[in-house]
Amino acid sequence: MNSRNNQTQTDLSKIAINFCGLSFNSPLVLLSGCVGFGEEYTRINGFSNTDVGAICLKGTTLEPRLGNPTHRLAETYMGMINAIGLQNPGSKIVVDDYLPNLDFSETRFIANLSGSTVEEYEAVTRIFDDSPIDAMEINISCPNVREGGVAFGNNPDMSARVVEACRRATSKPIITKLSPNQTDIAENARRCIEAGTDGFAVINTLMGMAIDIEQRKPIIGNNQGGLSGPAIKPIALLKVHQVYQVAKQHNIPIIGQGGITRIEDVIEFLIAGASAIGLGTALFYEPLICPKLNQGIIDYLDKNDFKHVSELVGTLQLHGG
């Protein structure tokens, strides 16, 4: 019995990582919006604190938000469209009423911050800075109300301004969630690094639409929403590779995300340059997928003579390179 336990512990040590100075039990990260404010997932029968490296909490704004009109979700071929509209009780309520219910010895918890102005991002960051949260993920895909509704994340200058403001407000790790809906994601990453980000999450959802052909109206009450799931995986994989070319020069780690459902997907993202792997849509139909993926990583490492998962990161060999 002891030898089997020791073997299991040895195997798990192969996938334990350091991400932005934080110790993760596993490279797997549960993405914002998919597991509520954490306790919804950790109380699932079968959850183990060795299953995941971190859990990203639901997107939070300075003041409470009711979110978008229904329908907010639509299943599509090989994916899902969502337009929740950042429904949340406000950052102070999350810090005062939600965080005390989390067991920070189980795993790492990352707040997800959103705002309509640079000042709002900074204010939310200051509130979470005075809390036990381990790190903060900045959702820069929100529209800037002072710039005609242009999303912060689609403009490198705006992105850098948000990161700079958040950096002033905290010494905790900042992870910038990059949008795929922009011209040059690598340039945006470079500007965010200069502004002080500690890590990246690549990518956020792509914008999409689904139509009710009987009513000839969009299914989503907001008309459009964020597309996630296997349909976006090839795009996400390319964006991770592009950001990695910049990030590796500064030792900035990446959470690769977008359509990951199989162990093959996990390995691809690691090879492309992701240090950690974000899971979202897959959790809706297989909530306990994490142990299977962790074992799959270990099996791949053993088969290919890697001693640790970090040795696999960024090993992509391009044709003609």
> Which of 197, 202, 49, 85 lies closest to 135 in space, CA to CA?
197
Query: Is 141 exposed, middle or buried (CB count within 10 Å of its CB: 0-12, 13-18, 19+)?
Result: buried
CB 256 within 8 A of CB 202: yes
CB 275 within 8 A of CB 21: no
The reply to whether 142 belongs to the active site is yes
Catalytic residue among 34, 56, 142, 290: 142
Q: In Å, what is the CA distance from 267 to each residue of 68, 93, 193, 230?
A: 36, 38, 26, 15
- With H, G, I as helix, E, B as strand and everything else as coil, classify residue 214: coil
Strand-strand pairing, 211-212 and 217-218: antiparallel
Distance between CA atoms of residues 110 and 189, nearest Å: 20
SS3 assignment, position 23 = strand
**What is the spatial distance between Cα 255 and Cα 138, in angstroms, rounded to a whole number?**
13
- Angle CA 129–130–135, to nearest 5: 35
Task: Cite the beta strand spans of 140-223 per DSSP E.
Answer: 174-178, 199-202, 206-208, 211-212, 217-218
Please answer whether residues 189 and 145 qualify as being in contact, where contact means their C-beta atoms are separated by less than 8 angstroms.
no
Which residues are part of the catalytic machinery?
Answer: 142
